[in-house]
A and B are shown apart, each in its own frame.
Chain A
Amino acid sequence: MSSPWRVSLVAIGLAALALAGCNREERHSRSKPIGETVPAGTSPDTIWPGGTVAQTADPRARLYDNNAPAIAAGQQLYTQMNCVGCHSHGGGGMGPALMDDQWRYGGRIDQIATTIAEGRPNGMPSWRSKLTEDQIWKLAAYVRSLSGQPSKDAVASRAESMSSTTPQTLTPREPAHTSDTAAQ
Chain B
Amino acid sequence: MSIQHYQSIFGNAATETRQFNTLFVIFLVVCAIMYLAVIAFLILGLVRRRRSDAANTVEEGRHHDSNPRMQAGLIGWAAVVGTGLVALAIASFVADRSMAVAAAHEKLSITVTANQWWWDVQYNAADNSKMVRTANEIHLPVGVPVHIYLKSNDVIHSFWVPSLAGKQDLIPGRENDITITPRKLGIYRGQCAEFCGAEHAKMALVVDVDSYSDFIKWWRHQLEEAAPPATPLAKAGYAFVTSRNCGACHAIAGTPASGTVGPDLTHLASRRTLAASMPMGEGNLYGWVADPQSIKPGTRMPTIGLEPDQLHAVVAYLETLK
- Do A and B assemble together? yes
Q: Size class of B's contact patch?
A: 20 to 34
Interface residues of B in 281-295 (CB under 8 A from A): 291, 293-294
Q: How far is the CA of A135 from the CA of B244 in the complex (A)?
A: 14
With A27-B298, A161-B154, A162-B172 already in contact, the answer to whether A34 and B306 are too (CB < 8 A) is yes
Residue numbers in B under 8 Å from A34 (CB-CB) = 304-307
Residues of B within 8 A of A31 (CB): 302-303, 305
- Looking at B248, B294, B297, the one whose CB has the most chain A CB atoms below 10 A away is B248
Taking a contact as CB atoms closer than 8 A, the residue among A30, A81, A129, A160 that contacts B291 in the complex is: A30
B248 touches A81 (CB 8 A): yes
Mask, B260-286, CB within 8 Å of A = 1, is 010000000000000000000000000
Roughly how many angstroms separate A161 CA and B244 CA in the complex, as a whole number?
27
**How near does chain B come to A99, taking the closest CB pair, in angstroms?**
24
Range for the number of chain A residues in contact with chain B: 10 to 19
Interface of A is mostly: loop
A81: chain B residues at CB < 8 Å are 248
State whether the Cβ of A84 lies closer than 8 Å to any Cβ in chain B: no
Q: Which residue of B lies closest to A138 (CB)?
A: B302
130-166 of chain A: CB within 8 A of chain B: 130-132, 134-135, 160-162
Q: Is B291 touching A162 in the complex (CB atoms < 8 A)?
A: no
The answer for the CA separation of A41 and B133 in the assembled complex, in Å, is 45
B297 contact set on A, CB distance < 8 A: 29
Q: Can you list 7 A-B contacts with CB-CB less than 8 angstroms, sorted by A residue number?
A: A30-B293, A32-B305, A130-B245, A131-B245, A131-B248, A132-B245, A160-B154
Chain B residues within CB distance 8 Å of chain A: 153-155, 172-173, 243-245, 247-249, 261, 291, 293-294, 297-298, 300, 302-307
Contacts A29-B293, A132-B305 known; 11 new A-B pairs at CB < 8 A: A30-B302, A34-B306, A129-B243, A129-B245, A132-B245, A132-B303, A134-B302, A134-B303, A135-B302, A161-B154, A162-B173
